[in-house]
């Protein structure tokens, strides 16, 4: 391992690290403490820890602004989208990774190309299609778009993983009388569980946080997901600072907690491609 010998270099390095940590944490600290203060505390002692702690902002977000609905919408949308991304990507990756047929490389490249194609640029077409399917202003329009958005990364991660599963396993299963569906269900899926989890985890952030498609595809209040509701409430309660910061904290805490619990998977899933070169 590399070590920096010179003392001053070490000092500068630690100084930079402390500064960087402060730059990351200070805005988040500010967001959380402000959400627990009333307006008087916010203006007189903006940096101090809340004293007394006020839950009024959060309470109003749930009672006045019906935040529960938005949270439920986001949960349903995210769970459906992630389940479908994992399922459809696993099926396609299995077929592409384990069988030889014409055009297979082309199909794989076609899927993976989606990693750099910004789906937003097709928004006008998507809007037209959703209106045609009468899915406009429903959560299902979002689920479908998010599935299309997540498939490239899903196939990219799962293709490599499934290809690594030793062929002997499927071969002996075939001798034991398993057909190809059974091989998928009984061998490939159980062995790929870490990769399937990675696909769900890595897609969680873009799906939960997406603001663009709800902004275009959702009109009614009852079907708004969290990010769209955040924008609305931010404008509506602009002067009630405690409440505004409660809204921002509520939108962030689920993802932050999720990341801190599963950070190993996030980092592995995201950097996988970069290291292959």
Residues 82-121 that bind another protein (CB under 8 A): 88-89, 91-92, 94-96, 99, 101, 107, 111, 114, 116-121
The answer to whether residue 129 forms part of the interface with another protein (CB under 8 A) is yes
The answer to whether residue 267 forms part of the interface with another protein (CB under 8 A) is yes
Task: Pick the piece of the chain touching another protein (CB under 8 A) from 19-27, 63-71, 159-167, 190-198.
Answer: 19-27
Judged by CB under 8 A, which of 106, 109, 175, 274 binds another protein?
Answer: 274
Judged by CB under 8 A, which of 75, 123, 138, 236 binds another protein?
Answer: 123
- Find the angle CA(28)-CA(34)-CA(36) to the nearest 5 degrees: 115
Smallest separation, CB 266 to another protein (Å):
7
Judged by CB under 8 A, which of 11, 14, 29, 48 binds another protein?
Answer: 14
Residue closer to another protein by CB (options 16, 59) is 16
Residue closer to another protein by CB (options 107, 173) is 107
Smallest separation, CB 168 to another protein (Å):
18
What Cα–Cα distance (Å) separates residue 205 from each residue in 151, 219, 227, 256, 268?
Answer: 14, 23, 12, 10, 15
Q: Which of residues 48-87 bind another protein (CB under 8 A)?
A: none
Token pair for 85:
């991304």
The answer to whether residue 258 forms part of the interface with another protein (CB under 8 A) is yes
- Residue 35 CB neighbour total at 10 angstroms: 25
Convert 127-154 to b/e letters by CB count within 10 Å (16 or more is b): eeebeeeebbebbebbbbbbbbbbbbbb
The CA-to-CA distance between both ends of the chain, in Å, stands at: 24
Contact 93, 158 (CB under 8 A): yes
The answer to whether residue 155 forms part of the interface with another protein (CB under 8 A) is yes
The answer to whether residue 46 forms part of the interface with another protein (CB under 8 A) is yes
Contact 228, 218 (CB under 8 A): yes
SS3 of residue 256 by DSSP: helix
Task: Pick the piece of the chain touching another protein (CB under 8 A) from 50-58, 60-68, 189-197, 249-257.
Answer: 249-257
Residue closer to another protein by CB (options 111, 223) is 111
Residues composing the chain: 277
Q: Which of residues 135-154 bind another protein (CB under 8 A)?
A: 144-145, 147-149, 151-152, 154
Q: Which of residues 204-243 bind another protein (CB under 8 A)?
A: 205, 208-209, 211-212, 216, 227, 230-231, 234, 241
Residue closer to another protein by CB (options 175, 274) is 274
- C-alpha–C-alpha distance, residues 2 and 144, integer Å: 48
SS3 of residue 217 by DSSP: helix
Smallest separation, CB 108 to another protein (Å):
10
Alpha helices in 99-118 (DSSP H): 104-113
Smallest separation, CB 49 to another protein (Å):
15
- C-alpha–C-alpha distance, residues 226 and 74, integer Å: 6
């Amino acid at each position: 391992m590399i070590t920096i010998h010179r003392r001053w270099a070490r000092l500068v390095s630690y100084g930079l690290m402390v500064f960087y940590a402060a730059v990351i944490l200070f805005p988040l600290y500010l967001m959380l403490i402000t959400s627990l203060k009333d307006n008087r505390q916010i203006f007189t002692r903006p940096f101090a820890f809340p004293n007394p702690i006020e839950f009024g902002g959060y309470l109003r977000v749930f009672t006045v602004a019906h935040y529960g609905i938005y949270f439920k919408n986001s949960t349903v949308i995210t769970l459906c989208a992630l389940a479908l991304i994992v399922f459809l990507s696993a099926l396609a990756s299995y077929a592409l990774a384990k069988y030889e047929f014409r055009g297979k490389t082309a199909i794989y490249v076609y899927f993976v190309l989606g990693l750099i194609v910004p789906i937003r640029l097709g928004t006008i077409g998507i809007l037209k299609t959703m209106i045609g399917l009468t899915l406009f202003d429903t959560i299902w329009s979002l689920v479908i778009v998010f599935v299309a958005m997540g498939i490239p990364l899903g196939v990219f991660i799962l293709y490599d993983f499934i290809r690594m599963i030793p062929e002997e396993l499927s071969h002996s299963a075939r001798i034991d009388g398993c057909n190809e569906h059974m091989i998928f269900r009984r061998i490939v899926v159980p062995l790929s569980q870490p990769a399937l989890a990675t696909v769900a985890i890595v897609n969680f952030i873009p799906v939960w946080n997406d603001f663009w498609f709800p902004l275009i595809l959702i009109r009614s209040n009852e079907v708004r997901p969290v990010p769209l509701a955040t924008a609305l409430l931010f404008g509506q309660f602009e002067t009630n600072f405690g409440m505004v910061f409660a809204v921002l904290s509520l939108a962030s805490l689920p993802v932050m907690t999720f990341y801190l619990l599963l950070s190993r998977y996030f980092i592995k899933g995201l950097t996988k491609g970069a290291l292959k070169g």
